């Protein structure tokens, strides 16, 4: 059995429920800034999450609109401007303390740090968004908790491409089988698996029913022991490093979760 040496943390949906109440709201504020009568409701935003990357998401939405600029250059310029404004609004929302960490996340980061595991951020969101979120919740020195911080700007291909994970593995000089990725979405699971990193899923609001295959464990959140597959012993308390180590040790015997 290979010993667990590192945790790789996805950000949006895994560290915090940032999509519905953060990015979506901030995108709508950016539309209003520019006088656009566009509004992404919760359902439309859920559909658009199939596209990773905020700028890419804007372009995908424009491709379906009759009231978007016609030329690719104008669309690109508008997407850039909206994305820049969206990230500023997102930072403001985070600072207004409207986006707490998901329950159990802070405790597991602390436990892993005390146990001497290395940790990395592996996200396709922008670096400024990660900085805003973690500065509020872990303090100005948040980056010291992480041996690598790989963000959307660092890669050519966003999730579900494995590049974010491959870069983190390279920076930590780590065998993928010695890590566990924490993810919330099908795209994140696909990215980790394509890099051969075992992945544990804490389902987020938008992906409660999504089909997810090939994780070493799937559950509702790190603060509870109920509802996990494979099942956890005992009903009280959060998911611990020992639990993750046990799933990691047994991963060869686990095949698919629907």
Residue numbers annotated as active site: 10, 12
Please tell me whether residue 13 binds Mg ion under the rule CB under 5 A.
Answer: yes
Work out how close the CB of 12 gets to Mg ion at its nearest, in angstroms, rounded to a whole number: 4
Residue 235 CB, nearest approach to ligand XBP (Å): 30
Question: Burial code of 59-75, b = ≥16 C-beta within 10 A, e = fewer?
Answer: bebbeeeeebeeeeeeb
13 vs 198 by CB, closer to Mg ion: 13
Closer by beta carbon to Mg ion, 132 or else 246:
132
Q: Which residue is nearest to Mg ion (CB)?
A: 13
Interface with Mg ion includes 184 (CB under 5 A)? yes
Nearer of residues 54 and 188 to Mg ion, judged by Cβ: 188
The answer to whether the beta carbons of residues 218 and 228 sit under 8 Å apart is: yes
Length of the chain: 258
- CA-CA-CA-CA torsion sign (47, 88, 136, 109): positive
Instruction: Please state, as a whole number, how many other Cβ atoms lie within 10 Å of the Cβ of residue 214.
Output: 17
What does DSSP assign to residue 125? S
* Residue ranges that bind ligand XBP, judged by CB under 6 A: 10-13, 19, 23, 52-54, 83, 123-126, 129, 152, 159, 188
Residue 119 binds which entry of ligand XBP, Mg ion, none, with Cβ cut-offs from 5 to 8 Å by kind?
none
Sheet (strand 199-202) strand order:
148-150, 118-122, 6-9, 179-183, 199-202, 217-219
Q: Is 17 a binder of Mg ion (CB under 5 A)?
A: no
Peptide bond into 44 cis (omega under 30): no
CA dist 64 and 208 (Å) reads 26
Alpha-carbon 129 to chain mean position: 12
Q: How far is the CB of 77 from ligand XBP (least distance, A)?
A: 17
Q: How far is the CB of 257 from ligand XBP (least distance, A)?
A: 19
Q: Which residues pair with 122 in a beta bridge?
A: 150
Contact assessment for residue 181 and residue 10, using Cβ atoms and an 8 Å cutoff: yes
Q: Residues 93, 99: contact at Cβ < 8 Å? A: yes
| Binding status of residue 243 toward Mg ion by CB under 5 A | no
Query: Which is closer to Mg ion, CB of 19 or CB of 38?
Result: 19
Binder among 12, 17, 61, 243 for Mg ion (CB under 5 A): 12
Nearer to ligand XBP, 192 or 232 (CB): 192
Q: Cα–Cα distance between 208 and 255 in angstroms, integer?
A: 20
Binding test (CB under 5 A) with Mg ion, winner from 7, 9, 10, 193: 10
Least CB distance from residue 17 to Mg ion, whole Å?
10
Binding residues for Mg ion, total number by CB under 5 A:
6
Paired residues of 8 in beta bridges: 120, 181
Terminal alpha carbon distance of the chain: 25
> Interface with Mg ion by CB under 5 A: which range of 46-54, 60-68, 128-136, 186-194?
186-194
- Given Mg ion, ligand XBP, none, residue 124, with its beta carbon under 5 to 8 Å by kind, binds ligand XBP
Binding site for Mg ion (CB under 5 A): 10, 12-13, 184-185, 188
């Amino acid at each position: 059995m290979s010993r667990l040496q590192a945790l790789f943390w996805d950000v949006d949906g895994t560290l915090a429920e940032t999509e519905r109440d953060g990015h979506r709201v901030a995108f709508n504020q950016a539309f209003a800034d520019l006088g656009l009568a566009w509004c992404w409701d919760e359902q439309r935003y859920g559909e658009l999450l199939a596209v990773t990357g905020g700028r890419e998401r804007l372009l995908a939405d424009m491709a379906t609109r009759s009231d978007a600029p016609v030329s690719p250059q104008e669309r690109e310029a508008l997407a850039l401007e909206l994305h820049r404004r969206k990230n500023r609004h997102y930072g403001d929302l985070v600072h207004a303390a409207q986006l707490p960490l998901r329950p159990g996340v802070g405790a597991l980061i602390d436990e892993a740090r005390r146990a001497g595991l290395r940790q990395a951020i592996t996200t396709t969101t922008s670096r400024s968004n990660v900085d805003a979120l973690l500065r509020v919740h872990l303090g100005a020195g948040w980056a010291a908790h992480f041996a690598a911080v790989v963000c959307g700007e660092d890669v050519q291909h966003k999730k579900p491409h494995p590049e974010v994970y491959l870069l983190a593995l390279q920076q930590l000089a780590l065998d993928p089988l010695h890590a566990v990725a924490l993810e919330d979405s099908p795209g994140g699971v696909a990215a980790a698996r394509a890099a051969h990193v075992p992945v544990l899923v804490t389902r987020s609001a938008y992906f409660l029913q999504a089909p997810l295959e090939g994780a070493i464990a799937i559950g509702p959140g790190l603060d509870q022991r109920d509802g996990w597959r494979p099942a956890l012993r005992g009903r009280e308390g959060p998911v611990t490093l020992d639990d993750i180590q046990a799933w990691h040790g047994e991963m060869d015997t686990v095949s698919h979760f629907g």
